[in-house]
Amino acid sequence: MNKRVLIEDKLIYFSNAIDTDESKPYFKKLKETIDWEQDEIMMFGKKTKVPRLTSWYADPNVKYSYSGLELLPKQWTSELIELKSLAEKLSTHSFNSVLLNYYRDGADSMGWHSDDEKELGANPIIVSITFGFPRRFLIREKMDYKKKKEIELEDGSLLVMRGDFQETYQHSIPKTKKLVGERLNLTFRKVL
């Protein structure tokens, strides 16, 4: 497994946390078994579809709201439990929930944001696992948007976000006009 520190104490990248011969079956199983939903949020007073499909799994009684949406937890599947264990092993932290995103093509995206909801507490540890087509993960400093970094999140990769990463930076997955394949992303979180 190849480990790289991208930002000291804040961002650690494992490029092949899951081997290709395992990542392909995970992709297929997650795509087929996860209860994908098309969420809608209010933007400028209008209901707008979120540009990706999402799903939320968590321990019972865990409540979370995200972009103004109250999420109701679904029950862990066996693949999600396995991936949670891997996330816990590599981050030495425990999680009680996972938010999944399904990017169907290059028109699907995630806008600039920080995972700084108060339910996650100060300096949350979040682990992000990617399956499928690699997409650009952009990072910018909140105090100076011109200070940017980026990394391509590859199939089977695992990214640990920790320390004051969410407080100091925003991140996004931009749209692309390139022909890109489907991508699944899982972010393991601990809701307090």
The answer to whether 171 and 139 are in contact (CB under 8 A) is yes
Residue of the chain from 84, 185, 188, 191 that contacts ligand AKG (CB under 6 A): 185
**Contact status: 191 vs ligand AKG (CB under 6 A):** no
173 is an interface residue for ligand AKG by CB under 6 A? yes
Nearer to ligand AKG, 79 or 117 (CB): 117
How far apart are the C-alpha atoms of 1 and 146, rounded to whole Å? 32
72: which 2 tokens? 């109701």
Closest Cα partner for 37 from 101, 87, 82, 96? 101
Least distance from ligand AKG to the Cβ atom of residue 13, Å: 12
- Sheet order of strands, 135-141 included: 110-113, 169-173, 135-141, 144-153
How many residues bind ligand AKG (CB under 6 A)? The answer is 11
**Residue 115 interacting with ligand AKG (CB under 6 A):** yes
Q: Rule CB under 6 A: which residues touch ligand AKG?
A: 99, 101, 110, 115, 128, 137, 153, 171, 173, 185, 187
